[in-house]
């Protein structure tokens, strides 16, 4: 896969809990930091306390090769109990010109929920780009290794998603 193709990855899980319970968990922006290896902490900006299209939150990340950085995410889609999506921007210019423009996002993340029997089918996905990120930084240094770099990043993201989905599933099914 090449960066120009819009690399993406997704993971699915069946959760033995009703959609409203799973929705409550996936719209808690702090939750993924409990389970994934990269995202360390998250907080709403401007006093927000729940997602609405246009609201923003900041995230603090850590990666062994890239160190630490802050992002600002913009809620770009919200369909109650069905879809929650946000675009991650490089507000501090970690990877190039600073931007808060969701159209120039480093990545767009998405949860999709579908009723499935007595439970919920939960999908988490990420689309890399089109803006600058750690991926584009690596591609600039090693353009001849593009497919390898993209594959490595997709593997990292998949592992983080699997851990997050396992955590959400456990919380939802235990009623915590």
Q: Which two tokens stand for residue 29?
A: 């922006």
Please state whether the predicted TM-score (pTM) of the whole model is above 0.85: yes
**Dihedral of the CA atoms 45, 23, 110, 115 (nearest 10)?**
-170
Sorted by where each begins, the domain ranges of the chain are 3-174
Q: Are 153 and 6 in contact (CB under 8 A)?
A: no
Q: What pLDDT is recorded for position 167?
A: 96
Question: Which pLDDT band holds residue 176 (cuts at 50, 70, 90)?
Answer: low
Pick the CATH number of 3-174 from 3.40.30.10, 3.50.50.60, 3.30.460.80, 3.30.530.20: 3.30.530.20
Q: Are 129 and 119 in contact (CB under 8 A)?
A: no
pLDDT tens across 121-139, in order?
999 999 999 999 999 999 9
* Average pLDDT for 17-35: 95
Q: Which of 165, 145, 153, 111 lies closest to 128 in space, CA to CA?
A: 153
* Average pLDDT for 5-23: 96
Q: What pLDDT is recorded for position 67?
A: 86
What are residue 39's DSSP bridge partners?
Answer: 61
């Amino acid at each position: 896969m090449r960066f120009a193709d819009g690399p993406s990855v997704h993971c699915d899980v069946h959760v033995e809990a009703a959609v409203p319970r799973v929705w409550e968990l996936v719209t808690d922006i702090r939750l993924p930091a409990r389970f994934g290896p990269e995202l360390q902490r998250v907080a709403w900006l401007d006093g927000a306390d729940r997602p609405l299209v246009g609201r923003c939150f900041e995230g603090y990340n850590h990666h062994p090769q890239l160190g630490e950085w802050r992002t600002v995410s913009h809620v770009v889609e919200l369909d109650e109990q069905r879809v929650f999506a946000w675009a991650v921007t490089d507000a501090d210019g970690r990877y190039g010109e600073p931007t808060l423009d969701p159209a120039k996002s480093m990545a767009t993340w998405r949860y999709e929920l579908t009723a499935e029997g007595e439970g919920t089918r939960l999908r988490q996905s990420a689309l890399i780009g089109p803006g600058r990120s750690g991926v584009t930084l690596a591609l600039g240094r090693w353009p001849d290794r593009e497919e390898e770099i993209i594959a490595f990043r997709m593997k990292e993201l998949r592992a983080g998603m699997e851990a997050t989905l396992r955590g959400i599933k456990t919380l939802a099914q235990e009623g915590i």
